[in-house]
Each structure stands twice: as structure tokens, then as C-alpha cells.
Chains A and B, each alone.
Chain A
Amino acid sequence: MAHEDSFPEGLVAVDRTAGAVRLELDDTLYPLEALYGAAYTFIDRCWVLLDRPQAGRLRATLAPKAGAGDDGAALHALAGEFANELLSCAWRHQIAQQNRAIIEQVTAQAVAGAMGPPSLDDLAKFEFSGEALEDPLGIAVSWEEKYRDKKAEPKAKDAK
């Protein structure tokens, strides 16, 4: 099979003049996170441009920095490698969503176990001023603040 036949028609196009290869992708098969992930791994050796030619379609254009000239086989191989990485990223995205709890748990335990508890010096440097959590139900409010008698306050003031 010639390299031009490696992909279904219309999915890969080689532009020998520009020294680039374009892949057209179905965005229902490859989440955006996977496209970013795959594209990012190529930016050290390729110039990568992403586009959305129409609804439901994505396009990735890769041009080897070292120049591929009119080497169609090399550009097709590049497309193949990109497609493999894209598949890997897409599946990993799915796995990460499914196994998120265990991945987070293991990572937290491993890093926490290695870091150990903070020392007094670490606590002294810790920035406590930021909001620790969102509190839509107003739970993180002291009893006094929640139940103080607002009407009583002016009387106390008048008493002075």
C-alpha cells in the first residue's frame, strides 16, 4: 500500500509546497483536551496550527521545522504519528475521567507522604489571607455572626 493510501480519503492532505500535512478530525471522536495534548507534544519539532473548518470538524496542520521538502512519505508518517498520539490522548482523557478519584487519591497520598507535615517555619510563610473555600450555603460563618441580634446593636450604642 502506498503511503498515500494509509489514511481514508479526505482525512489527510499533504501540501508539498508548504512542507506541511493536514489532518481533518471528527470532534465527537477526539475531545479538545486530546487535541491540545497531542498538538503540544509536537511543538518542539513541528509548527502546529489548529482550526475548525466547519462545525463538528477539527483540523491540525503540522509543518516539520527541519523542513520535509516534498517528502510525501515523511509527511504521511508524521500524520500517522500525530494520529497515534491523538488516540492515546483521547483514551487517556477518558481514563482520567473514569479513574479520577483513585488517581487523585494516590497522588495526594504519595506527595503528602513525601512532603510530610509543615514545620512552624512553613506555616509562618503560608498565605492565609485567600478564601479557603466557596461557601454558597453560608455554613462557614460563626454562630455569633449568624444569629446576632442586629436590632439590639443601636440600643447598645444609644446606651453609651
Chain B
Amino acid sequence: MTELRFHRGLYAGLAVEEAVKLFAPHATLRVREEPDHWVVEVEGGARERRVAGELGNYALGLTVKHGNAR
């Protein structure tokens, strides 16, 4: 299992949400909230590392596109 921790001050919540939606068909994703982070747990067998990585990049890309986490 790979855990992605998205800091609320660095990632836009909507960006994380969109990324999770997009990659849901490709792995088992569980999302939980912590005080400072959105945490996404990724389970995907052989593809797990790639799905986790691309999900993180997608969230980052969307955050940048929409003008950062603020």
C-alpha cells in the first residue's frame, strides 16, 4: 500500500478530489482527512507505484493550474 499525503497548504482540495476520481478505476483508493493533510491510500498491485505517482502529479498539476492551494 502506498500512502500519499497532500498538505492542505500546498494542494487544492478540489485538485486532490479530481485526481482521486480520475484514477479510481485503476486502483483501490481510500481517502481520509487529517488536520493538515488529505491522505490517499493506494493499493494497485503491480501498477500501484505508477498510479500513486501519476495521481500525485495530476493533483499537483491541477493545483498549479488553478492558482495553488489558496
Contacts and interface: CB of A to CB of B under 8 A. Distances in A.
A–B direct contact (CB < 8 Å)? yes
Interface string B29-70: 000000010000000000000101110110011011000100
A48 interface: yes
Contacts, number: 42
A50 to B, nearest CB: 5
Nearest to A44: B57
A64 to B, nearest CB: 10
A32 B7 CA distance: 13
A43 B57 contact: yes
Interface stretch (A33-41, A124-132, A141-149): A33-41
Contacts of A16: none
Nearest to A37: B64
B53 A47 contact: yes
A40 B53 contact: no
B27 interface: no
A47 B56 contact: yes
Given A32-B10, A33-B68, A36-B68, A50 B53 contact: no
Contact of B61 (A43, A52, A65): A43
Contacts of A75: none
Interface in A27-77: 32-33, 36, 39-40, 43, 47-52, 58, 63, 65
B7 A52 contact: yes
Contacts of B56: 47-49
A50 B56 CA distance: 9
Interface of B: 4-5, 7, 9-11, 36, 50, 52-54, 56-57, 60-61, 63-64, 68
Given A47-B56, A48-B60, A52-B9, 15 more contacts: A36-B60, A40-B60, A40-B61, A43-B61, A47-B52, A47-B57, A48-B56, A48-B57, A49-B4, A49-B5, A50-B7, A50-B11, A51-B7, A52-B7, A65-B50
The 8 closest A-B pairs by CB, nearest first: A47-B53, A43-B57, A50-B10, A52-B7, A36-B64, A49-B56, A51-B7, A40-B64
